[in-house]
Amino acid sequence: MGRKKILWLCSWYPSATDPFNGDFIQRHARAAALYNDIYVIHVAGNEHRQPVPHPTEIKQEGGLTEQLFYFSKTQSLPGRLLAQWRWMAIFKKGIQQYIREQGLPDLVHVQIPMKAGILALWMWRKYKVPFLVTEHWGIYNEVEKLNYAGRSTLFKKYTRKIFKQAVSFISVSQFLAAGVNKLVLKKEYTVIPNVTDTRLFFPVKHSGSHFRFIHVSNMVPLKNIPGILRAFQAVLQQGEAAELVMVGNTEPSFPAQLRASGLPVDQVVFKGEIPYTDVAAEMQQADALIVFSDIENSPCVIGEALCCGLPVIATRTGGIPELVNDENALLVNPRDEAGLTAAMVTLMHNRNRYRPEKIAENARLRFSYDTAGKMMDELYNRQVRPAGND
């Protein structure tokens, strides 16, 4: 079967108002566009009235077209209610415009059921176009504060409807899919992990005077940044020569904690938020990745680090154990700072055990755009009726 027309309805997607919102979904879209014509629609609220290119923004590259719509909103109660109505109206208008210009798609692919899946239900009722759903949102557990159990009755009602009507369910981890099956409804699923741009993330030989650890995240509380800093301080107190590079949105309290702890400022560097290409460059100059989260789904940074040939130290939680093995990682329990310290020292003393080229080769086979694109294409082919068949 040749290239198919797949309309992606995205709850999250990078935009001018939030360039990191669902960037992992954009990478999935680029992967899918290797084998099919993918048309993304996303509607972004502009709460802070940031400058945007135009109320409607369209980008096209290869098999991927991205259409983004922007509207202003406020956080007042009337403003939030109006925003819901405007979001729905603009999304429907975008879908109708697509149909007028492109015709009906072969399939609809929803990225994160709530809220874009509501539009997929509307398309199913109106046009009888079937839809798949991919879930990325890690709310189906008890650790996340704003988890599924604490959501409104209406949220749960529509989430269940969306999953029930979907012809296929894709999850980025078995852990997340198990949560959906436990809390929402029983549904078969296919796991397609988050992908890595292997044109950027690949091994580079480097020579540093000290062993360099790197951490990359949005640094929210679940990432346990203070625990990483304390564990690294314990490594240095054992007389080890090491560096720690922290990449991501830095809270003011973190540098303050660094100063108060007495950690050498030249051995812990906060880089802040940096472009994706710069993240790759930082990883290529590191020796190992640290992930010390309380809960995770399928962290993109693990695939990116492995594609750079880095061994990983991570917590034994969520979907992380699905991504690594004894040849490329050491796992510790969440909040176990002594265990993290011991793992860091162990890895430093046994760095020759880990073979960067082999780690990277295995990761490329699993996390590349090509691999994910083929997996999505196979799912699409199962649902698209061949021409001439009624």
> Do residues 213 and 203 lie in contact, with contact meaning Cβ atoms separated by under 8 Å?
no
261 phi and psi, to 5 degrees? -80, -20
Main-chain phi, psi angles of 18, to 5 degrees: -155, 85
What residues pair up with 330 in beta bridges, in sequence order? 313
Q: Residue 217 corresponds to which tokens in the numbers above?
A: 């995240």
Spell out the domains of the chain, with CATH numbers in brackets: 5-195+369-383 (3.40.50.2000), 211-367 (3.40.50.2000)
- The pLDDT value given to residue 389: 46
Structure tokens given for 241:
């020569």
Phi (first) and psi of residue 108, to 5 degrees: -110, 140
User: How does pLDDT run across 22-57, given as a tens digit for each residue?
Assistant: 999 999 999 999 999 999 999 998 876 666 656 889
Q: What is the pTM of this model?
A: 0.92
pLDDT at 390: 43
Question: What are the tokens at 161?
Answer: 């409807």
> What is the spatial distance between Cα 387 and Cα 70, in angstroms, rounded to a whole number?
37
Residuewise pLDDT in 10s, the chain (390 residues): 789 999 999 999 999 888 889 999 999 999 999 999 999 999 998 876 666 656 889 999 999 999 999 998 777 777 778 888 999 999 999 999 999 999 999 999 999 999 999 999 999 999 999 999 999 999 999 888 889 999 999 999 999 999 999 999 999 999 999 999 999 999 999 999 999 999 999 999 887 778 999 999 999 999 999 999 999 999 999 999 999 999 998 777 777 777 777 777 778 998 989 999 999 999 999 999 999 999 999 999 999 999 999 999 999 999 999 999 999 999 999 999 999 999 999 999 999 999 999 999 999 999 999 999 999 999 999 998 665 444
Structural contact between residues 339 and 315, judged by C-beta atoms closer than 8 angstroms? no
Residue 306 has a CB neighbour count (10 Å cut-off) of: 28
Q: Please tell me the distance from the alpha carbon of residue 342 to that of residue 332, in angstroms, as a whole number.
A: 9
What pLDDT, on a 0 to 100 scale, did the predictor assign at position 206? Answer: 83
How confident is the model at residue 48, as a pLDDT? Answer: 64
